Amino acid sequence: AAVPPPLLVWGDRLGAGEDASSEDPTMWALGGGGVLSDIFARVGSFSYRGCRTVSVESMLEINADGVVIDNAWLWHADHDDCDLKSDNCHSKHALVVNGKRVVAYGFLAGDNP
């Protein structure tokens, strides 16, 4: 099965003018530089979501120049309420940067297999 797109994309991923589709990220912000503050992303199984096993290409993808990331925690769940199904949930990357002058302060990417 194809790996779903990132959880959050900052910048133009699909190219200007393309329509959104079911393959779009959970959150998507178009435009140039800016500040992303207090970003918390977790890949894992959750009972309120039916204990599904999930995977993503990356948790956060930056496709712009001049971006500041302030306080980000991107992590793979090392525990859950689904009999440890999170052990089978994966992300290939915590962060992917396709831009220049991207800086991060207070950044943690943990437990990403």
Strands 90-97 and 55-63, bridge-based pairing: parallel
> What is the tens place of the pLDDT at every residue in 2-54?
667 888 888 876 554 444 444 555 556 666 788 999 999 888 888 888 888 88
pLDDT value for 105: 95
CB 71 within 8 A of CB 38: yes
> What is the tens place of the pLDDT at every residue in 41-53?
888 888 888 888 8
